[in-house]
Structure 1
């Protein structure tokens, strides 16, 4: 019986030593520091303009970037209204003789798409507000 306890104690220490060695060699590896992240170019990440000012006497905000899409709202005689630009379509399209992108915008709780030929884009809200005052 004494022999059994002696062997059990030895087994405990042996297991402890093996487990400790495994932790030392696998758990103490140096972490490599991440120096830079290369992201693929996307329309949202490459877009510098974040604000738009309506430059047309009427502008339709649509559900999707398509001239046949359902109209969310129409800005009648709202030239100079400031819109927050959320994203941009990946490709330019031709509509009514103009080539431009579609922009997803937010205004007064509404989110939709407007055609870029009818919106002037600005890099900051302050620039857009200044241009809006001059447009009205």
Structure 2
């Protein structure tokens, strides 16, 4: 019977919280957290949450945004712009600006990491040389 229900929900394009969590590899708690923040708004049937295609697309965008380091408020702004003025074109322009900012931040961090690694290399080499002289 459970598989028949899963088949019914799949055919209708809807999922339960368990199915959505499994689909995206997240916990039920994470899905509920995004719902509490207003990033997802599943349909309610009694105590059951029903996630439609729109919710799953939003969750995919949330998770992608998190992977590249956007804070949740920025993700909300980007996602909400799709439904509001200036619409998809404005959303894309805003997203491009945010990508440019994020890329610049990551490039700066990469340079800092490369500088730190080079400095560690110098210190490590000196330590080996000093140790060799002492033994």
Normalising by structure 2, we get a TM-score of 0.21
| Higher RCO, 1 vs 2 (CA within 8 Å, ≥6 residues apart) | 1
User: TM-score w.r.t. structure 1 length?
Assistant: 0.21
Larger radius of gyration: 1
Question: Which has more strand, going by share of residues?
Answer: 1
Which has more helix, going by share of residues? 2
